[in-house]
Structure 1
């Protein structure tokens, strides 16, 4: 049901002192990691807005202790196609441009000859969205479909604790959509996420507690979101939360062993199998998803 209620990663630096009249310097060699393209393509949709808030962030993975560095691409494009009986009946595209040179942030190109924004009205159809990125001479591809979500019924403050007194309990209540296998991603802010699936509460009202590892001042506003997820995105986030901890956003320093749905297709030889390139060590990091987001707030007592 609910995975990773609290995951805390402590990085401890240990200094060794020798009381022998001299001091030895101990150097620790960290494992070298290949630099990889990182794609932060989680697009959160407010269905009441006119356009999908498309924003793709590109960066390069860095060393163990450093943050990822923004990187620019030669081109970034989203293609969307609606299928009926395996036949494309509607299609469109959105050309993205960098908000400022070197930022690595890409949005629908405001200077294009036509409006490149994508209307939320198309989400009523069954569209397949394809993200194409050309970066440093290589071509990357990711595909996703829009995933809706149910609203949050209520959020209230609890009085329980999990590990100690310096915690804040919030109790979240929502009702699962019946007759469908549902997966959810909760964003509690401060880089803290939680995933859950409806295996044991299908079609029912469900309530659970989440514990922040700090106490907040009275009047503090906590923003909490529920996001739709398919099983693939659910599995990806579950692994990412497990391995990276909840001290920062999951796309900040993705773990090298967690692969998302973005593939290097530069040498693709079969268009029907996008992950068939026979280069197992050549892969990017990150994920591309378009999901509905429902928000809630709690004002701390």
Structure 2
């Protein structure tokens, strides 16, 4: 992606003296609510790091705009044989007016933080957002992950010399189908599943499209994911070109797991409102994150 941008800039400089200015009318995009609800859990911490970011989608090449909601709430419940045996909720408040960032309300009459210990049980978490008179809903369950065994610096290249190779090693959890999301920083993500390395130690190379100064420390993390979240991230990474975070400026209307349920007509099917053009963007997920570092030579 960076090479393409560089070539475009060089071409602009070389031919600026003989080119006419052409104005291109880009299509207007419908403004949609964008929900950044990815909660990355460190199981050594006492409470979940709940932070929900709300923005409004923008036109091409423009940043999303923070937006405030009338209310944001996370409910959670545990069921056994269809019977609710435990439940609770967390009321969220905006960190500052107009920020669009919501965390457990520190001024509530009781502690609204969600204990990490709940993740040892199979709770269903429901995010409810009331925004500009409409009601949005998303549901998820916690997904654990395996640790990273090691990260080392490699010497290989993929397309040229101005690259940095890191070699990641981890061991897949056996007996279940696993999906993993790697965060390499700089808005670069990678999605993988264990179809061909189930229960085995697995190693792969990732190439940064740049060189770093010696002594640079890179923070890399692995997150658990279910198949739906994995598919969502895979589509978003492909369409964003690895040039930005997954919730910054969506280049297309990739559907997540957040639904507009204002006109819900069936409590068993949350996307059954017969309005295919009425939907928000973004995702709500609670996943374990394991981090590792590598110091470059």
Task: Give the TM-score, by structure 2 length.
Answer: 0.95
Q: Secondary structure at the match of 2:277?
A: coil
Matches within 5 A, 1:182-193: 182-193=178-189
Taking the aligned partners of 2:114 and 2:2, their CA distance within structure 1 comes to 38
Over residues 84-130 of structure 1, what are the superposed CA-to-partner deviations in whole Å (9 max), with x where a residue is unaligned? 11111000000000000000000000000000000000000000000
Over residues 148-205 of structure 1, what are the superposed CA-to-partner deviations in whole Å (9 max), with x where a residue is unaligned? 0000000000000000000000000000000000000000000000000000000000
Over residues 218-274 of structure 1, what are the superposed CA-to-partner deviations in whole Å (9 max), with x where a residue is unaligned? 100000000000000000000000000111111101233310000000000001100
Tell me: CA distance 1:268–1:10, structure 2 relative to 1, closer, same or farther (3 Å): farther
Residue in structure 1 matching 2:53, options 57, 60, 85: 57
Partner of 2:238: 242
Tell me: CA distance 1:24–1:203, structure 2 relative to 1, closer, same or farther (3 Å): closer
Determine whether 1:114 maps to 2:110.
Answer: yes
Matches within 5 A, 1:57-136: 57-136=53-132
Kept in 2, the 8 Å contact 1:42–1:287? The answer is yes
How many residue pairs align between the two structures? Answer: 292
Determine whether 1:178 maps to 2:174.
Answer: yes
Partner of 2:287: 291
Partner of 1:47: 43
Residue in structure 2 matching 1:33, options 14, 26, 29: 29
Kept in 1, the 8 Å contact 2:38–2:286? The answer is yes
Taking the aligned partners of 1:156 and 1:256, their CA distance within structure 2 comes to 35
* 4+ runs deviating over 2 angstroms: 7-19, 23-26
Kept in 2, the 8 Å contact 1:98–1:105? The answer is yes
Q: Secondary structure at the match of 1:286?
A: strand
Partner of 2:153: 157
User: Per residue, is there more helix in 1 or in 2?
Assistant: 2
Over residues 9-54 of structure 1, what are the superposed CA-to-partner deviations in whole Å (9 max), with x where a residue is unaligned? 94647868796xxx96432110111000000000000001000000
Shift of 1:64: 0.1
Q: Secondary structure at the match of 1:94?
A: strand
Task: Give the TM-score, by structure 1 length.
Answer: 0.94
Partner of 1:278: 274
Query: Can you give the 5+ residue segments of structure 1 that lack an aligned partner in the other structure?
Result: 1-6
Partner of 2:196: 200
Q: Secondary structure at the match of 1:237?
A: helix
Query: Can you give the 5+ residue segments of structure 2 that lack an aligned partner in the other structure?
Result: none
CA RMSD of aligned residues (A): 1.6
Q: Secondary structure at the match of 1:235?
A: helix
Kept in 2, the 8 Å contact 1:144–1:288? The answer is yes
Tell me: CA distance 1:17–1:227, structure 2 relative to 1, closer, same or farther (3 Å): closer
